[in-house]
Structure 1
Amino acid sequence: MIEVRELTKRYGGTTAVDRLTFTVRPGRVTGFLGPNGAGKSTTLRLILGLNAPTSGTVTVHGRPFRDRLRGLRHVGALLDAGDVHGGRTARAHLTALAVSNRVPRARVAEVLAEVGLTDAAGRRIGGFSLGMRQRLGIAGALLGDPPVLLFDEPLNGLDPEGVKWVRGLFRRLAAEGRTVFVSSHLMSEMEHTADELVVVGRGSLIAAESLAEFAARGGSASVAVATPEPAVLAAALTAEGAVVREAGGDLTVTGLDAARIGELALRHGVPLHQLTTRAASLEEAFMELTADRVEYASGATR
């Protein structure tokens, strides 16, 4: 379990993390979301003791991580897949980690096999693709068989097969009772992977709740409508208080449910070719709830 309490980190006049409080529990995958500059990477570094907090506390199973010897046995982490010595082989890199953390050397071959790098074990890391480096970083996180795992953007550079594999890996690790904390900007992947979410913006907490609760709180269900008379139906729906968006002749309607839309279409003699209710997406909820917490926005969104 990871417990963050009133955690704050300032760099001069800049507050990167502002009184964050949340808990990451074992047995589930917790997604860590936020716009660019939200303080996600800083928070992960604070959890691992790589940076000291200005105030507040963060503990892993009741103790600061930096107080633990042989850290890989307690927490496995992937923060930057490129932060490895390119002249070493994959096997040599993992062996050095194993020796320094008193992890049995047999684990090196085991984790290389688990991440699909057995055939590349003797190759120098400098020749690895980004996806291969990500796999190596995940192998390093798994090396000590730790109960807590942290990953910062672990899907970067992975092909579709790799993404599917990582998704299954995280779910398996959580099912084993481990604490799995994953920072990512890919909303679609969090929808498929996470059970819980911690969402931050400009260093402050926005939400810490289940994925379903977050999506429901931030977004609205809509109804997709296809009709050969979109203008007539749009006018009727708008008159009833609905919000209607048209694209390519199809309508997306919020504010009225599918049954009411069908009744209005029948009343106005408008034929329907499609009437499908669509639940609010995580991305829509995220965009709505973080709109005023974006540090770096394009001119079109300001």
Structure 2
Amino acid sequence: MSRVIEVNELTKRYGGKTAVKDLSFTVRPGHVTGFLGPNGAGKSTTLRLLLGLDAPTGGSVTIGGRPFRDRPRGLRHVGALLDAGDVHGGRRAVAHLYGLARGNRIPRARVDEVLRDVGLADAARRRIGGFSLGMRQRLGIATALLGDPPVLLFDEPLNGLDPEGVLWVRGLFRRLAAEGRTVFVSSHLMSEMENTADQLVVIGRGELIAAESLSDFAARGARLSVAVRTPDGVRLGDVLTAEGAAVEADGDTLTVTGLPAPRIAELALRHRILLNELTTRTSSLEEAFMELTADSVEYPAGESR
């Protein structure tokens, strides 16, 4: 229970704008849970409410059964990276972490340990103002790890990281979850969530769209299609269309929706049409996300304002 995030009918309004509306979901340990939504969906607001940086207008949010702001020495309970740029640029990396460690009664040796873990040991005494965005992200991750907490929250942690850094973060999140921690990651990079997350919480316009496994979400949004390669595409297309299928042609390959592969093979055999390939395709996480959040995009591309 100490590692469970519970959001219950959470609402946050800023003046006349509702950023989060009656939002409820649970994040459990042992998984990497991705937090997805279009721009303006309310993800950052939700994370700020989780950490007590903003007060809810209604509802509640707890971590381990208590509001986070009620916990002394918070870094021992929850580690978070919300904004890698929100650090005093004139301070040295090691001094920044020493100050946080002292305030949370964390041994100084832990500072050196997390700097090594994130690959910043050689830059520990450099001023943060001279760090690249990727280095600031690593420092933010070090800050989140500092108290060795059971719950970790990350908002767009991959921004500015090179490919090696992305692979490192992917492995880090999986390792932390395998240790039984709760790992909650907000990201707009669908490919990374597809490679990293086990569970998803998806919101749009501040409301819940889905809270389920990644595979269930992708399947719910998927429109199965079948790729058919044939030298007689026109005739096969006519046959399949007559059976109620939707057919798109690209050279000698047809993309067919509305009929399963066995039925397509049966019809091709009946009409003596040669098939060179018959492959069932499912949609990616990105395709499912775009389909299921289409009505929640605040400013669709090409929309005049």
Question: TM-score of the superposition, structure 1-length normalised?
Answer: 0.96
Identity of aligned residues (%): 78
The equivalent residue for 2:261 is 258
Query: Equivalents in 2 of 1:87, 1:244: separation in Å?
Result: 61
Whether 1:282 and 2:281 are equivalent positions in the alignment is no
Query: Equivalents in 2 of 1:248, 1:78: separation in Å?
Result: 48
Whether 1:165 and 2:132 are equivalent positions in the alignment is no
Q: Deviations over 1:220-269 (max 9, x none)?
A: 22222222333222222222122222335422222222222222223333
Provide closer, same or farther for how the CA distance between residues 159 and 273 of structure 1 changes in structure 2, counting only shifts above 3 A.
Answer: farther
Query: Equivalents in 1 of 2:178, 2:144: separation in Å?
Result: 17
Task: Select the residue among 56, 61, 75 that pairs with 1:58.
Answer: 61
Query: Equivalents in 1 of 2:244, 2:43: separation in Å?
Result: 40
Whether 1:42 and 2:40 are equivalent positions in the alignment is no
Query: Equivalents in 1 of 2:260, 2:40: separation in Å?
Result: 38
Query: Equivalents in 1 of 2:233, 2:297: separation in Å?
Result: 35
Structure 1 residue 202 displacement after superposition? 0.2
Task: Select the residue among 214, 220, 223 that pairs with 1:220.
Answer: 223
The equivalent residue for 2:83 is 80
Helix, strand or coil: the match of 1:232?
A: helix
Whether 1:132 and 2:135 are equivalent positions in the alignment is yes
The equivalent residue for 1:105 is 108
Structure 1 residue 196 displacement after superposition? 0.9
Provide closer, same or farther for how the CA distance between residues 263 and 12 of structure 1 changes in structure 2, counting only shifts above 3 A.
Answer: same
Instruction: List alignment gaps of at least 5 residues for structure 2.
Output: none
User: Which ranges of 4 or more aligned residues in structure 1 deviate by more than 6 Å?
Assistant: none
Which stretch shifts more, 163-172 or 33-42? 163-172
Structure 1 residue 125 displacement after superposition? 1.5
Whether 1:203 and 2:206 are equivalent positions in the alignment is yes
Structure 1 residue 155 displacement after superposition? 1.0
Which stretch shifts more, 91-100 or 230-239? 230-239
Structure 1 residue 187 displacement after superposition? 1.2
Query: Equivalents in 2 of 1:175, 1:88: separation in Å?
Result: 34
Helix, strand or coil: the match of 2:188?
A: coil
The CA RMSD measured in Å over matched residues stands at 1.6
Helix, strand or coil: the match of 2:154?
A: strand
The equivalent residue for 2:73 is 70
Q: Which amino acid aligns with 2:272?
A: G
Query: Equivalents in 1 of 2:248, 2:6: separation in Å?
Result: 43
Query: Equivalents in 2 of 1:148, 1:43: separation in Å?
Result: 16
Which stretch shifts more, 210-219 or 69-78? 210-219
Q: Would you say how many aligned residue pairs link Structure 1 and Structure 2?
A: 302
Q: Which amino acid aligns with 2:267?
A: L
Whether 1:145 and 2:148 are equivalent positions in the alignment is yes
Q: Which amino acid aligns with 2:66?
A: R
The equivalent residue for 1:28 is 31
Which stretch shifts more, 70-79 or 94-103? 94-103
Instruction: List alignment gaps of at least 5 residues for structure 1.
Output: none
Q: Which amino acid aligns with 1:16?
A: A
